[in-house]
């Protein structure tokens, strides 16, 4: 089994699907000639040529809408947003068109598109480039959203997303691009709607997605070594569809839940998870559900403060101890 | 065929319109697009244009009339055609699919279920609300522990899983560390009347302690007393028991307490105001008399309940009381058998206590305390000094529900019934 | 190509319609009598369907918006009558005419307006969202200009698959100021996509006239030059002219894979939508003038009468049949059932509607 980076895993997924299905097209700003703003698509133009790997002008509403229109006729575009923060420029296309066309036509049409790109803060780039819109997007029926945290999940989810016949939006993370992990060489997918218990424990359940999973795993180490607490970490992997059963099974085991997300608190993903847990596992709870989100403000520029604004290891450990009190 | 033109819906918020002015007359020929009338809506005055070419056969609504949307205003058809009879504004055609029945909310009883070992409902007051996590409550129920009796080590004194686990494994329930610091010197000779020990209090004692303290503190008690000539009662009891004995060896034997229970029910029938509960902004009167009576056990007191005593005969009451006492002694009473009373009777006569006043069993409005029947000199109707058999009965009343006069009337009724038992027949 | 001297829309209203200069154009001359009658019939059907909708709306049976195409029939009729196997169309919310032109039935269209399960979108779309992908009709869209990138994408797909085809992207004069439209123009021209942008200029974007909303003076199509695209203007009351000039753009799309912007001057007799009290922005006289001088259905009738293709009796027959068909559709819509509560959560995801051995999604996707 190879040990590759998250970036390489994404690239491998796209390459394999480009080979497998000639309707797959990679499209976005700087994806071809520049080899990708974050080098995710590096080498693909050389291998597949300009018909399959397409550079677009800076025109999100235009090219995302174009991709959606093409998908109605069977093309399977994988469109890159340089940052998911730029999705708001194309919000009408992403939400109103991709999300609704099947429904408004009474099921006559489907849009098998993938939109992918980094959705994260923590990179000192300020408020307009640091969004994590998974909650906003997932709140629209018609749309699917996934958030891989490891190279294995990145490749598996990307392949599943490309093969999926509905719009799937993949939230990547620039900070995770360099993380390395074991990835099988053979063809595999990670199905949508299946969470993963990344760490088994008995005293506390931490539910997280994206980079917050990595943070939570680090916090779990500290909680075990310094506080003698056994923490279970559930990685959602898929926001919509959502694996409710894995979350509930974990809470039934540990009776205490801490939710960790990079979203801002109001109606972030964890708001939905908290509702789920109290609604379906009320009698299992030995403490109220706690949450660590990003501090509720536009993303601050000052790097030291941004690190505090994010759900960092210290805040997760402190909140975990409160839940265990 | 003629078409009836209705008052149109000219804006999405419109429900009525006023026909301000007709631009056409009966008999006039109109084409598509011709203005028929001016209609005033909630927003503006709009023109009603013709959508059915033809001849105006009839105008149903005169100028100036206000009509609901959908009401007929005129008819258009071929010249010479008869004008149709206008029907009233039709009810909107029901859509073909059945409107899904919204499931009726299950009847939620506002009365919280009585906790397992207490007698009846406890009032909603913060002092009595126990903070416990849902998980702890579930664990406690499974371990047959009263979560309210446990000390909570969670935030804010919340009872959490580990507290229940600790209580379940150690038989002694965690006692709340109160401000009671009892330090008393042990017997100097080392041989005291009993061991100096901390006897852990079990669930029953905890409950008794909590509920009676609550009653004493929150209920304004007042006390009335009456002395009853018990001779007629004793005589009746003897003769009835003789009769019952004739039916067989296992015949029921009526006790004094059975008579008092029956008489209490009848006295309540005569003074029903005492069969009530304080409900904060109202007094809840109870139609049924559910009588509870005290049964002493070695570690405490339970009060089983005879339901609908007002509808039971003396014999039924006696049989039921005996059965309940048996169950109480063998710890087999169910929660239902220990809750829901409206009036309580306690009797310490068997210990020779001549008179006493009990603490009200909330939410009853009163408790009857029966003393022993003793021989004493009394003055009879002819002012002679004779030997009397007297029983002192005390009534503790909740002054929020029952005033002195009511309570007195109740005791008066009870006395009459006990001294002239035949009155219970009418 | 010849640019007409008069390039502003209101001017075009002033002269009455005469015999069409484009009757002899090969694309029109080559039509058989039957084909011409069929074209006229389709225009009449659009007219009568739309007018029948007004009554249903006033009876309160159509909720939401109703944007009528009355007065614009020749635009849809002329352009769509040229479509081939790989030519696709997409439009905004004034979409009934386009739907009927590609062959959607009056029954399913009427039933959709009243939200019935027998509607073309099973009651889930409404007036603004007619779709018929089997007839190359991709909707019916509610956000002004939002359809432009979609249509550009359809053209992209046609080219990607190596087919000789195109995509007509219809929009109103109000849409040309939307960012999405400009992005679509740029992409279509940059990538040589076979898109034909049809700006149905009826003189008003909702209540705002062209002079009050568009900085560029003169005709809207001229902006295509800023994107290095071909463009033309067409008098939209004359279905022969629409066909003749559109055919040129279609040829450009098929043979050179290059886009065109066509501005077609037309007019709508009714407000932007049924809820629009249009007295605030135009005179009744203006409406009457267009109706009398330039009504496209009337103009084509006159044309065909002159050509002796139609007779007054045949014309009356066609119109009465269309009215009867619309009446029957109204009854069909009234008597059809609504969708059920269970239907609300269907047709959201292809994977959910087609669960099988190949679909791999799990977990909860519809939440309570």
Query: Per-residue pLDDT tens for A232-259?
Result: 999 999 999 999 999 999 999 999 999 9
Mean pLDDT score of chain B: 83
Q: Evaluate if residue B366 carries a pLDDT over 60.
A: yes
CB contact under 8 A, B155 and A325: yes
Best mutation target, B3, B49, B95, to test chain C (most C CBs within 10 A): B95
Closest-CA residue to C148 (of A77, A101, A97, A30): A97
Where among A183, A215, A245 does a domain terminate?
A: A183
* CATH number of the domain residue C112 falls in: 3.40.50.970
C124 touches chain A (CB under 8 A): yes
According to DSSP, the residues that pair with C231 across neighbouring strands are C261
Reported in sequence order, the residue ranges of chain C that DSSP labels E, i.e. its strands, are 87-90, 166-172, 195-201, 204-205, 208-209, 230-235, 260-265
Residue contacts between A and B (CB atoms, under 8 Å):
27
Question: Confidence band (pLDDT; 50, 70, 90) for B98?
Answer: very low
Chains that touch B (3 or more CB pairs under 8 A): A, C
Tokens encoding A217: 């795993």
Does one domain contain both A231 and A296? yes
Three-state secondary structure call for residue B78:
coil
Best mutation target, C50, C52, C58, to test chain B (most B CBs within 10 A): C58
Nearest CA in chain C to B8: C58
In chain B, the domains with their CATH numbers are: 3-77 (2.40.50.100), 126-169 (4.10.320.10), 220-425 (3.30.559.10)
According to DSSP, the residues that pair with C324 across neighbouring strands are none
Is residue C3 assigned to a domain? no
CA–CA separation, A202 vs A204, rounded Å? 6
Tokens encoding C234: 């067409």
Is residue C367 assigned to a domain? no
Does one domain contain both A200 and A294? yes
Please tell me which residue, B410 or B191, carries the higher pLDDT value: B410
CA–CA separation, C152 vs C159, rounded Å? 11
Task: Report the pLDDT value the prediction gives residue B123, as an integer from 0 to 100.
Answer: 34
CB contact under 8 A, A286 and B137: no
CB contact under 8 A, B96 and C338: yes
Is residue C214 assigned to a domain? yes
Does one domain contain both A7 and A132? yes
Contacts of A248 in chain B (CB under 8 A): none
Task: Report the pLDDT value the prediction gives residue C9, as an integer from 0 to 100.
Answer: 60
Is residue C174 assigned to a domain? yes
Does one domain contain both A206 and A125? no
Is residue A173 assigned to a domain? yes
A38 touches chain C (CB under 8 A): no
Is residue C5 assigned to a domain? no
Average pLDDT estimate for C210-234 = 90
Is residue A281 assigned to a domain? yes
CA–CA separation, C169 vs C185, rounded Å? 11
CA–CA separation, B421 vs B415, rounded Å? 10
Give the residue numbers spanning the domain of C188: 22-353
Closest-CA residue to C19 (of C299, C309, C311): C299
Smallest CA–CA distance, residue C80 to chain A, in Å, is 19
Distance in angstroms between the alpha carbons of the first and the last residue of chain A: 42
Does one domain contain both A43 and A148? yes
CA–CA separation, B226 vs B320, rounded Å? 27
Task: Report the pLDDT value the prediction gives residue B15, as an integer from 0 to 100.
Answer: 79
Structural domains in chain C (count): 1
CB contact under 8 A, C60 and B95: no
Best mutation target, B15, B87, B94, B96, to test chain C (most C CBs within 10 A): B96
Query: Per-residue pLDDT tens for A272-313?
Result: 999 999 999 998 999 999 999 999 999 999 999 999 999 999
Chains that touch A (3 or more CB pairs under 8 A): B, C
Is residue C198 assigned to a domain? yes
ipTM rounded to 2 decimals: 0.90
Q: Evaluate if residue C268 carries a pLDDT over 80.
A: yes
Please tell me which residue, C118 or B350, carries the higher pLDDT value: C118
With 0-12 / 13-18 / 19 or more C-beta atoms within 10 angstroms meaning exposed / middle / buried, residue C200 is buried
Does one domain contain both A208 and A318? yes
CA–CA separation, B149 vs C336, rounded Å? 64
* CATH number of the domain residue A45 falls in: 3.40.50.970
Contacts of A71 in chain C (CB under 8 A): 153, 157
Smallest Cβ–Cβ distance between A255 and the set B137, B155, B161 belongs to: B161
CB contact under 8 A, B136 and A286: yes
Smallest CA–CA distance, residue C112 to chain A, in Å, is 10
Does one domain contain both A220 and A142? no
Nearest CA in chain C to B46: C277
Smallest CA–CA distance, residue C327 to chain A, in Å, is 25
Does one domain contain both A19 and A142? yes
Closest-CA residue to C171 (of C192, C193, C191, C151): C151
Smallest Cβ–Cβ distance between C153 and the set A67, A103, A165 belongs to: A67
Q: Are A109 and A56 in contact (CB under 8 A)?
A: no
Question: Confidence band (pLDDT; 50, 70, 90) for B236?
Answer: very high
Average pLDDT estimate for C246-252 = 98
Contacts of B154 in chain A (CB under 8 A): 286-287, 325
Where among A183, A210, A225 does a domain terminate?
A: A183
Backbone angles phi, psi at B226, to 5 degrees: -140, 145
Task: Give pLDDT tens digits along chain A (325 positions).
Answer: 899 999 999 999 999 999 999 999 999 999 999 999 999 999 999 999 999 999 999 999 999 999 999 999 999 999 999 999 999 999 999 999 999 999 999 999 999 999 999 999 999 999 999 999 999 999 999 999 999 999 999 999 999 999 999 999 999 999 999 999 999 999 999 999 999 999 999 999 999 999 999 999 999 999 999 999 999 999 999 999 999 999 999 999 999 999 999 999 999 999 999 999 999 999 899 999 999 999 999 999 999 999 999 999 999 999 999 999 9
Query: Per-residue pLDDT tens for C104-140?
Result: 999 999 999 999 999 999 999 999 999 999 999 999 9
Q: Evaluate if residue B111 carries a pLDDT over 60.
A: no
- CA C54 to each of CA A110, B261, C227: distance values in angstroms, whole numbers, following the listed order: 32, 81, 40
Max intra-chain CA distance, chain C = 67
| Residues 6 or more apart whose Cβ sits within 8 Å of residue B260 | B345, B347, B368, B370, B418
Q: Are C193 and C157 in contact (CB under 8 A)?
A: no
Closest-CA residue to A114 (of A168, A40, A71, A61): A168
What are the CB-based long-range contacts (under 8 Å, 24+) for B238-243? B240/B314
Answer whether the bond into residue B363 is a cis peptide, omega within 30°: yes
CA–CA separation, C351 vs C348, rounded Å? 9
Secondary structure of chain A in HEC code, one letter for each residue: CEEEEHHHHHHHHHHHHHHHCCCEEEEECCCCCCCCCCCCCCCHHHHHCCCCEEECCCCHHHHHHHHHHHHHCCCEEEEECCCHHHHHHHHHHHHHHHHHHHHHCCCCCCCCCEEEEECCCCCCCCHHHCCCCHHHHHCCCCCEEECCCCHHHHHHHHHHHHHCCCCEEEEECCCCCCCEEEECCCCCCCCCCCCEEEECCCCEEEEECCHHHHHHHHHHHHHHHHHCCCEEEEECCEEECECHHHHHHHHHHHCCEEEECCCCCCCCHHHHHHHHHHHHCHHHCCCCCEEECCCCCCCCCCHHHHHHHCCCHHHHHHHHHHHHC
Indicate the helix (H) or strand (E) that contains C327: helix C312-335
Q: Evaluate if residue C250 carries a pLDDT over 80.
A: yes
Length of chain A: 325
Task: Report the pLDDT value the prediction gives residue A106, as an integer from 0 to 100.
Answer: 97
Strands B72-77 and B3-6: antiparallel
Closest-CA residue to C29 (of C247, C311, C316, C298): C247
Where among A158, A183, A208 does a domain terminate?
A: A183
Does one domain contain both A179 and A222? no
Q: Evaluate if residue C361 carries a pLDDT over 70.
A: yes
Q: Evaluate if residue C149 carries a pLDDT over 60.
A: yes
CA–CA separation, A285 vs A277, rounded Å? 9
Does one domain contain both A120 and A157? yes
CB contact under 8 A, B160 and A286: yes
Q: Which residues of A are catalytic?
A: 60, 129
Does one domain contain both A212 and A172? no
Does one domain contain both A147 and A234? no
Secondary structure of A2-52 in HEC code, one letter for each residue: EEEEHHHHHHHHHHHHHHHCCCEEEEECCCCCCCCCCCCCCCHHHHHCCCC
Is residue C10 assigned to a domain? no
Task: Report the pLDDT value the prediction gives residue C131, as an integer from 0 to 100.
Answer: 98
Smallest CA–CA distance, residue C241 to chain B, in Å, is 28
Q: Evaluate if residue B66 carries a pLDDT over 80.
A: yes
Task: Report the pLDDT value the prediction gives residue C281, as an integer from 0 to 100.
Answer: 74
Nearest CA in chain C to B102: C341
User: Nearest 5°: CA angle at B197, between B195 and B200?
Assistant: 130
Task: Report the pLDDT value the prediction gives residue B148, as an integer from 0 to 100.
Answer: 85
* CATH number of the domain residue A225 falls in: 3.40.50.920
Is residue A144 assigned to a domain? yes
Structural domains in chain A (count): 2
Please tell me which residue, B247 or B382, carries the higher pLDDT value: B382
A139 touches chain C (CB under 8 A): no
Answer whether the bond into residue A241 is a cis peptide, omega within 30°: yes
Is residue A222 assigned to a domain? yes
A96 touches chain C (CB under 8 A): yes
Strands B29-30 and A290-292: unpaired
Give the residue numbers spanning the domain of A314: 196-324
- Residue C161: CB atoms within 10 A of its CB come to 15
Q: Which residues of B are catalytic?
A: 399
CB contact under 8 A, B154 and A285: no
CA–CA separation, B342 vs C21, rounded Å? 102
Contacts of A325 in chain B (CB under 8 A): 154-155
Query: Per-residue pLDDT tens for B18-45?
Result: 999 999 999 999 988 888 999 887 767 7
Closest-CA residue to B208 (of B142, B274, B148): B148
B18 touches chain C (CB under 8 A): no
| Residues 6 or more apart whose Cβ sits within 8 Å of residue C359 | C351
């Amino acid at each position: 089994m190879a040990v590759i980076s998250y970036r390489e895993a994404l690239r491998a997924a796209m390459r394999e699907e480009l080979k497998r299905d000639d309707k797959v097209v990679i499209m976005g700003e700087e994806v071809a000639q520049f080899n990708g703003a974050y080098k995710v698509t590096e080498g693909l133009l050389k291998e597949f040529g300009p018909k399959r790997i397409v550079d677009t002008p800076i025109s999100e509403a235009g090219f995302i809408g174009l991709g959606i229109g093409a998908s109605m006729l069977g093309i399977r575009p994988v469109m890159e947003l340089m940052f998911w923060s730029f999705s708001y420029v194309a919000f009408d296309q992403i939400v109103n068109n991709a999300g609704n066309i099947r429904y408004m036509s009474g099921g006559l049409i489907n849009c098998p598109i993938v939109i992918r790109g980094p959705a994260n803060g923590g990179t000192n780039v300020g408020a307009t480039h640091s969004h994590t819109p998974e909650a906003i997007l997932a709140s629209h029926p018609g749309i699917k959203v996934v958030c891989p945290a490891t190279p294995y999940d990145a490749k598996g989810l990307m392949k599943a997303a490309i093969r999926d016949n509905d719009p799937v939006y993949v939230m990547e993370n620039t900070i995770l691009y360099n993380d390395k992990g074991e990835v099988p060489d053979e063809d595999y997918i990670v199905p949508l709607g299946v969470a993963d218990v990344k760490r088994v424990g008995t005293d506390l359940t931490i539910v997280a997605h994206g980079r917050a999973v990595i943070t939570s795993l680090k916090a779990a180490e500290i909680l075990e070594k310094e506080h003698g607490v056994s923490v279970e970490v559930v990685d959602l992997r898929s926001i919509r569809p959502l694996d409710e059963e894995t979350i509930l099974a974990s809470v039934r085991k540990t009776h205490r839940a801490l939710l960790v997300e990079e979203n801002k608190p109001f109606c972030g993903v964890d708001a939905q998870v908290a509702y789920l847990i109290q609604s379906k596992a009320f009698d299992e709870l030995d403490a109220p559900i706690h949450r660590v989100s990003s501090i509720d403000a536009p993303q601050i520029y000052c790097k030291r403060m941004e690190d505090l604004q994010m759900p960092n290891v210290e805040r997760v450990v402190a909140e975990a101890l409160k839940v265990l009190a | 065929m003629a078409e009836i033109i209705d008052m149109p819906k000219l804006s999405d918020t419109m429900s009525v319109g006023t026909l301000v002015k007709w631009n056409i007359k009966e008999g006039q020929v109109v084409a598509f697009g011709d203005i028929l009338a001016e209609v005033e809506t909630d927003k503006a005055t709009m023109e009603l244009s013709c959508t059915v070419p033809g001849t105006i056969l009839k105008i149903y609504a005169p100028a100036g009339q206000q009509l609901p949307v959908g009401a007929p205003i005129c008819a258009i058809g071929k010249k010479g055609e008869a004008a149709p009879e206008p029907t009233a504004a039709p009810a909107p055609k029901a859509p073909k699919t059945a409107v899904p029945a919204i499931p009726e909310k299950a009847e939620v009883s506002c009365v919280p279920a009585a906790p397992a070992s207490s007698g009846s409902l406890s009032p909603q007051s913060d002092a009595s609300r126990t903070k416990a996590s849902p998980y702890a409550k579930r664990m406690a129920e499974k371990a047959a522990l009263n979560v309210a009796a446990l000390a909570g080590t969670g935030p804010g004194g919340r009872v959490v899983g580990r507290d229940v686990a600790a209580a379940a494994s150690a038989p002694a329930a965690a006692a709340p560390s109160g401000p009671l610091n009892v330090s008393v010197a042990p017997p100097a000779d080392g041989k005291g009347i009993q061991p100096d020990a901390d006897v852990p209090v079990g669930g029953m004692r905890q409950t008794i302690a909590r509920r009676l303290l609550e009653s004493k503190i929150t209920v304004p008690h007042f006390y009335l007393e009456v002395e009853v000539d018990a001779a007629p009662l004793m005589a009746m009891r003897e003769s009835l028991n003789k009769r019952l004995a004739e039916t067989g060896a296992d015949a029921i034997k009526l006790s004094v307490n059975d008579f008092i229970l029956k008489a209490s029910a009848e006295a309540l029938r005569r003074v029903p105001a005492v069969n009530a509960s304080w409900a904060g902004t109202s007094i809840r009167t109870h139609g049924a008399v559910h009588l509870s009576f005290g049964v002493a056990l070695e570690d405490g007191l339970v009060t089983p309940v005879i339901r609908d005593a007002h509808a039971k005969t003396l014999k039924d009451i006696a049989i039921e009381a005996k059965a309940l006492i048996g169950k109480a002694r063998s710890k087999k009473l169910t929660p239902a058998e220990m809750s829901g009373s409206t009036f309580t009777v306690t009797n310490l006569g068997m210990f020779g206590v001549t008179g006493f006043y009990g603490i009200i069993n909330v939410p009853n409005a009163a408790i009857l305390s029966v003393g022993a029947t003793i021989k004493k000199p009394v003055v009879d109707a002819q002012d002679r000094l004779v030997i009397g058999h007297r029983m002192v009965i005390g009534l503790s009343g909740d002054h929020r529900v029952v005033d002195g006069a009511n309570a007195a009337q109740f005791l008066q009724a009870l006395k009459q019934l006990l001294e002239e038992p035949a009155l219970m027949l009418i | 190509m010849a640019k007409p001297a008069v390039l502003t829309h209101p001017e075009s209203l002033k002269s009455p319609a005469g015999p069409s200069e484009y009757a002899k154009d090969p694309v029109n001359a080559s039509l058989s009598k039957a084909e011409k009658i069929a074209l006229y019939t389709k225009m009449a059907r659009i007219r009568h369907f739309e007018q029948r909708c007004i009554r249903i709306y006033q009876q309160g049976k159509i909720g939401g918006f109703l944007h009528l195409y009355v007065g614009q029939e020749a635009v849809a009729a002329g352009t769509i009558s040229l479509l081939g196997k790989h030519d696709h169309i997409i439009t905004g919310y004034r979409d009934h005419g386009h739907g009927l032109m590609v062959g959607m039935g009056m029954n399913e269209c009427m039933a959709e307006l009243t939200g019935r399960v027998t509607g073309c979108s099973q009651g889930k779309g409404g007036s603004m969202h007619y779709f018929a992908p089997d007839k190359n009709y991709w909707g019916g869209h509610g956000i002004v200009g939002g359809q432009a990138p979609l249509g550009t994408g359809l053209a992209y797909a046609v080219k990607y698959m190596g087919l000789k085809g195109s995509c007509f992207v219809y929009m109103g004069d109000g849409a040309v100021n939307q960012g999405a439209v400009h992005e679509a123009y740029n992409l279509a021209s940059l990538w040589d996509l076979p898109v034909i942008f049809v700006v149905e200029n009826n003189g008003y974007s909702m209540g705002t006239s062209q002079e009050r909303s568009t900085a560029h003076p003169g005709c809207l199509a001229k902006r295509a030059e800023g994107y290095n695209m071909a463009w033309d203007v067409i008098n939209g009351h004359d279905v022969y002219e629409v066909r003749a000039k559109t055919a040129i753009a279609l040829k450009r799309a098929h043979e050179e894979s290059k886009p065109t912007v066509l501005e077609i001057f037309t007019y709508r007799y009714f407000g932007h939508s049924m809820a629009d009290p249009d007295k605030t922005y135009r005179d009744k006289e203006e409406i009457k003038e267009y109706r009398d001088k330039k009504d496209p259905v009337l103009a084509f009738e006159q044309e065909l009468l002159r050509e002796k293709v139609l007779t007054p009796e045949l014309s009356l027959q066609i119109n009465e049949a269309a009215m009867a068909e619309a009446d029957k559709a109204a009854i069909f819509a009234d008597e059809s059932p609504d969708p059920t509560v269970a239907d609300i959560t269907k047709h959201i995801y292809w994977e959910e509607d087609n669960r099988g051995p190949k679909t791999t999604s799990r977990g909860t996707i519809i939440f309570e």
